[in-house]
Amino acid sequence: MKALVLNAQWDPRPDYPLSDWERETGKAISGYQVWRYPTLEVKEVETPTIKPDQVLIKVKACGVCGSDIHFYETDEDGYILYPGLTRFPTTTGHEFSGQVVEVGSAVQDLKVGDMVTAEEMIWCGYCTPCRNGFPNHCANLEEIGFTIPGAFAEYIAVGAKYCWKLNALLDRYGDEEKVYEAGALCEPSSVAYNTIFVRAGGFRPGAYVAVYGVGPIGLAAIAECKAAGAAKIIAFEVSAPRLELARKMGADYAFNPKEVTPHEVVMELTEGQGADLHVEAAGVPPLTIPEMEQSLAINAKIAVVGRAAQRVNMYLEMLQVRRSQVFGSQGHSGHAIFPSVIRLMASGLLDMTPIITSRYNLDGVVEAIIKSGDRTDGKIMVKP
């Protein structure tokens, strides 16, 4: 089958203390410290064979994620920019949907023909964090498209326990093509859902929300807050096309933070009360957190989902005076997240498909990834 293969050289930076675990597993905990000179190529690879507990999925749609760009972009020394867990060579792509074409002998609740999406996090279910109910913090984590082959390919083999049926979306969208596109958006939507409703505990209808950073996660955050009854949603984003998308997805106000002072705008639009929920989806907390801390409502929440390997100056007094709290979030698994997102989509309360701004076939995937580096698109969809 055809697949996108990402390769890079294992060349740990001289000052990076490589652990025994990294040496044994070939997995880098901090990708940007280890992998150098990445290459991307669409080529012929072996079609995966399934284990008894897996299904084979014919990929129908796979979104390009910010991390896919960070695998390809390098610093001046040639190291990839992606900071997280990685093992190469592999096929990237982890926001996908497709049709089940083969079912392992031990699989009970999926059949050939089912439309599915899948979690990207292959949590083990046996480690202590998993057994304690925290699969997003699994100690034996594998990640589709990061440490094991992903979905910029014609087929992918996935454990049935990570798959979620999309059949309920057919009534809403009418045609399968659209269902698969919506299905491929479940993963980023689930990341936003985990941040806002699971980690931060959500908000009461009528709350004021400020979203910083309007990439796909920020857009999902806006749409989900709208669905959950936010009275006003204020978005901040530097890219003009993305500001337009923010409005389209439900933001009542959208500003370029270089043209306004965000905390002043939030205080003004909330009648001096501040925002009840602040979402950090920009990945620049040194810039966003100081704004958030000056526009906290009493009992406000700051939910952090954007990643940044930086420390942040924070005046904790503000959390005391404003009775506020900060929540860190990673992942999308467990806690009824995927099925809730699919229900929201099936009900019509959440439609993420307007964020798709370009479509490519598998032969165009390298071009799609390079295009996404402009950071002006909503979501770029690859359809093998």
Stretch that binds Zn ion, among 69-77, 99-107, 137-145, 341-349 (CB under 5 A): 137-145
- In this complex, which beta carbon is closest to Zn ion, that of residue 34 or of residue 138? 138
Q: Is 341 in the site for Zn ion (CB under 5 A)?
A: no
- In this complex, which beta carbon is closest to Zn ion, that of residue 145 or of residue 274? 145
- In this complex, which beta carbon is closest to Zn ion, that of residue 187 or of residue 293? 187
Q: Is 85 in the site for Zn ion (CB under 5 A)?
A: no
Answer whether 352's CB lies under 8 Å from 220's CB.
yes
In angstroms, rounded to a whole number, what is the distance separating the alpha carbons of residues 276 and 299? 7
In angstroms, rounded to a whole number, what is the distance separating the alpha carbons of residues 367 and 373? 10
Minimum CB distance to Zn ion, residue 125 (Å)? 6
Q: Is 65 in the site for Zn ion (CB under 5 A)?
A: yes
Minimum CB distance to Zn ion, residue 130 (Å)? 3
Minimum CB distance to Zn ion, residue 162 (Å)? 13
Active site (catalytic) residues? 67, 70
Report which DSSP code applies to 248. H
Selected from 8, 130, 151, 275, the binder of Zn ion by CB under 5 A is 130
Report which DSSP code applies to 196. I
Q: Which residue has the tokens 């597993």?
A: 25
Report which DSSP code applies to 205. T
Residues in the chain: 384
In angstroms, rounded to a whole number, what is the distance separating the alpha carbons of residues 346 and 335? 19
Number of residues that bind Zn ion (CB under 5 A): 7
Q: Is 45 in the site for Zn ion (CB under 5 A)?
A: no
Q: CA-CA distances (angstroms) from residue 299 to 27, 206, 271, 316, 323? A: 41, 14, 16, 14, 5
Q: Is 61 in the site for Zn ion (CB under 5 A)?
A: no
Q: Is 220 in the site for Zn ion (CB under 5 A)?
A: no
364, containing H or E segment = none
In angstroms, rounded to a whole number, what is the distance separating the alpha carbons of residues 196 and 209? 11
Q: Is 369 in the site for Zn ion (CB under 5 A)?
A: no
Stretch that binds Zn ion, among 44-52, 69-77, 139-147, 252-260 (CB under 5 A): 139-147
Report which DSSP code applies to 172. H
- Interface residues with Zn ion (CB under 5 A) are 65, 123-124, 127, 130, 138, 140
